[in-house]
Chains A and B, each alone.
Chain A
Amino acid sequence: MRAVVTVIGKDMVGILARVSTTIANANANVVEVTQSVLQEFFVMVMLIDITELNCELAELRQQLEQNLEDMKIQVMHEDIFKSMHRI
């Protein structure tokens, strides 16, 4: 089971570090990361394995939001992307 974490907002030092620490604490494994900075806009998409996750997805999102104020954060099960964009 995998989920997609997206973080969008103004670029600053330590975003990736904070996201990965929070995810590690929730016992999820990072499978893949894509990030880009367009002008000052930071966009990161992270695919994580949540098979052994020690909390609910909603809790993980809350923790990420606490650790990264002012960033738009989504944590969504990968099935929604698969079903919407693949036949």
Chain B
Amino acid sequence: MLNLGDILETITMIQEENLDIRTITMGISLLDCCDSNIDISCEKLYKKIYRCSKDLVETGDKIEQKYGIPIINKRISVTPIAILLGSSGGDPVKYARTLDQVAKDVGVNFIGGYSALVHKGFSPGDKELLDSIPYALSETEYVCSSVNIGSTKSGINMDAVRIMGGVIKKTAELTKDRQCIGAAKLVVFCNAPEDNPFMAGAFHGPGEPDCVINVGVSGPGVVRSALAKMDGGCDLTEVAEVIKKTAFKITRMGQLVGSEASKMLGVPFGIVDLSLAPTPAIGDSVAHILEEIGLESCGAWGTTAALALLNDAVKKGGVMASSSVGGLSGAFIPVSEDAGMVNAVRSENLTIEKLEAMTAVCSVGLDMIIIPGDTHEDIIAGMIADEAAIGMINSKTTAVRVIPAIGKKAGEELEFGGLLGSGPVMEINRSSPSKMIKRGGRIPAPIQSLKN
């Protein structure tokens, strides 16, 4: 017989501690949909995505019922559209509309891959795609966009950084009547993973197989609760052990769901992304885990150390639990999606500079941060450059997803609703990096030895 304690533990995790499978994401290669005519290319793209993913939502629902575990999102990631645009030419927004339509028709809640990989330079189609992002995101509902502007192996493409500063600003402006939501669906990466199932940064890398199932698990509430049950006098080695064990259990569930989905859909199983992804729900917060470790508030001195411990322990626990771990894997720190982070910002304990330090040890970067609407685009480019530099030097993924709140000032709020949450506009340093940003060019790839 199964152990009674184990059964009740699993049920408590699901019912009380918000344990869920955050997303089943089907990655689909569109390399065989390229055509020199953009309309034919869009038609092929629609047919292929529809054919591969028509049963995705239903399969997710079936697994949810069989195992009694909530599967929150079913999503699709595709080959970066800039690659198709390179051979087809034409108006890139046509691709965005087609992606939006097919997402709607198969019933998924996001489709990612309106993307370009420009970390070393621009190939045909890349610049056109970047310039079209504001229009694509304002015209569509389900499409997510990401751009990789740097990597440890190739350095940072500062021309792309400058362009993306303007693209983020313009995307927010074009969606200002909808809480600037467009910018929440746009991520600028350094060292972007090719198999990430989480939005808005998911795309299906060119090195991936034709069609694959990736799973993103979540569970900050479970980790927090496991820590809360510990004796207050336990040292940090024991804290790390408890996080590892909890991450192991969560990831095992992701592995089970992923392999089941892969079997039912007849599609190879890719990776489990074992990320602690917070939601605005009470108790489902990464900031609260840090506070449970022993900080008065997230943002206090010690936050970076606590986050480093958490991020590393999550990876260690998860790696053994799954046959293949990938994606972003670690702890996310999206401000507006995390009730604890929002509180820390409101009480002025958490500043954007501290968040930047935290991104050096978390799994992503400056995520879901709302900045004043009159922020100059070069300042946004400066933020991207700083984040990319942290990622490039430390050989890790970093990203920027900031939302300029058009017409709003520090202290006012944006309300996105759903998993994206809400949060206050954060004040930022206004001194200008324009001269540096306008220089353009490339920051050379860093040396891989003499590490200090």
Contact = CB atoms under 8 A, between A and B. Distances in A.
Interface string A26-58: 000000101000000001010100000000111
A58 B9 CA distance: 21
B245 to A, nearest CB: 11
A76 B67 CA distance: 5
A6 B7 contact: yes
B67 A58 contact: no
A77 B67 contact: yes
A82 to B, nearest CB: 7
B253 A4 contact: no
A79 B214 CA distance: 20
Contact of A74 (B2, B4, B9, B68): B68
A17 interface: no
B255 interface: yes
A80 interface: yes
Interface string A1-13: 0001010100000
B6 interface: yes
A56 B1 contact: no
B349 interface: no
Interface string A54-83: 001110010000000000101111111111
Contacts of A34: 1, 4
Interface string B377-394: 000000000000000000
How many chain A residues sit at the interface, stated as a range, is 20 to 34
Nearest to A36: B4
B15 interface: yes
Contacts of A76: 10, 66-69
Given A74-B68, A77-B66, A45 B4 contact: yes
B11 A79 contact: no
B3 interface: yes
Contacts of B14: 74
Contact of B15 (A47, A72, A80): A72
Given A32-B1, A58-B65, A75-B68, A80 B6 contact: no
Given A45-B7, A45-B8, A83-B255, 11 more contacts: A32-B1, A43-B8, A58-B65, A76-B10, A78-B2, A79-B67, A80-B68, A80-B253, A83-B256, A84-B252, A84-B256
Contacts of B69: 76, 80
B249 interface: yes
B249 A84 contact: yes
B253 A83 contact: yes
A84 B15 CA distance: 16
B21 to A, nearest CB: 11
Contacts of A75: 68
Interface in B236-280: 249, 252-253, 255-256
Contact of B2 (A4, A8, A58, A61): A4
